[in-house]
């Protein structure tokens, strides 16, 4: 385990701003790191003896590896879609868009790589067949923690398989419906086995319901370090590993 500082969502947003203004590829870095974690969890364990202690455990499966991507309207949805594009030639990838809009370029990239777009009825039917679920519904900018519409329907359909251990969830930056600062949560949240958090660990992941819902924490270094140096951390967290996108 590695000890790292914890920051608020606002501190992270301020740190990101100059990099985004300079057109640094933060989303591409986040997606690459996310895809790396998914690959490691899909490994059958062979040839992975050098995996660090505390790294997300691999999934051993005798059938086709099946990934569901839940893509919301914001940047987390874009991160998940670009990660799907990295993975679609390696595993079966279904994409369910659950926001009022979608990251069009990310969706095109995922579908172009071989991912399949699905709707709620198909997700209900296949709910127990997904080995991994990428939760990219909401991000740190969400003000309403209660999921609605197709996002809520998807979570309700998937929760039984997740709770039974048939499917595992990787949260994109933080579990959707978890407040990034307080750790409060909405009524419908997919509990994650692993949360891949970008740039810095957010305070809500280690307080309130954060530890219960976030699972293992993996920090994706997307280049915010120099910008975050000017802030006083609000705490400290243990992460299983740090990956670079």
75 assigned ligand-binding residue: yes
CA quadruple 62, 243, 32, 203: dihedral sign: positive
Q: Is 135 annotated as a binding residue?
A: yes
Distance CA 180, CA 40 (A): 26
Q: Which backbone phi and psi does 73 adopt, to 5 degrees? A: -75, -25
How many Cβ atoms from other residues are within 10 Å of residue 213's Cβ?
23
Instruction: For residue 173, say whether it is annotated as part of any ligand binding site.
Output: yes
State yes or no: 181 annotated in a binding site.
no
Phi-psi domain of 208 (left: phi exceeds 0; alpha: psi -120 through 50; beta: other): left
Residue 144 known to bind ligand: no
Helices (H), the chain: 9-21, 26-42, 75-87, 104-112, 120-126, 149-163, 210-214, 225-228
Query: 176 labelled as ligand-binding?
Result: yes
Q: Which residue from 85, 92, 104, 102 is spatially nearest to 133, judged by alpha carbons?
A: 92
Q: Binding-site residues for K(+), please?
A: 76, 135, 176
Q: Binding-site residues for (6S)-NADPHX, please?
A: 75-79, 173
Q: Binding-site residues, please?
A: 75-79, 135, 173, 176
């Amino acid at each position: 385990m590695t000890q790292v500082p914890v920051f608020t969502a606002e501190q992270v947003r301020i740190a990101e701003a100059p990099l985004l203004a300079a057109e640094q590829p933060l989303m591409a870095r986040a997606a690459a790191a996310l895809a790396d974690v998914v690959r490691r969890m899909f490994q059958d364990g062979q040839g992975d003896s050098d995996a660090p202690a505390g790294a997300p455990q691999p999934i051993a499966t005798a059938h086709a590896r099946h990934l569901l991507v839940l893509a919301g309207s914001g940047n987390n949805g874009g991160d998940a879609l670009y990660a799907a594009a990295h993975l679609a030639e390696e595993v079966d990838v279904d994409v369910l868009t659950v926001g009022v809009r979608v990251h069009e370029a990310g969706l095109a990239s995922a579908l172009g790589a071989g991912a399949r777009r699905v709707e709620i009825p198909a997700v209900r039917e296949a709910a127990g067949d997904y080995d991994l679920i990428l939760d990219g519904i909401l991000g740190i900018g969400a003000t309403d923690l209660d999921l609605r519409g197709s996002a809520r329907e998807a979570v309700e359909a998937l929760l039984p398989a997740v709770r039974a251990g048939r499917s595992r969830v990787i949260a994109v930056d933080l579990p959707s419906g978890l407040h990034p600062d307080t750790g409060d949560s909405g009524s419908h949240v997919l509990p994650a086995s692993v949360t891949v958090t970008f740039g810095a660990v957010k305070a809500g992941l280690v307080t309130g319901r954060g530890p219960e819902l976030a699972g293992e924490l993996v920090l994706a270094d997307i280049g915010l370090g120099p910008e975050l140096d000017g802030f006083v951390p609000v705490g400290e967290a243990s992460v299983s590993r740090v990956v670079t996108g």
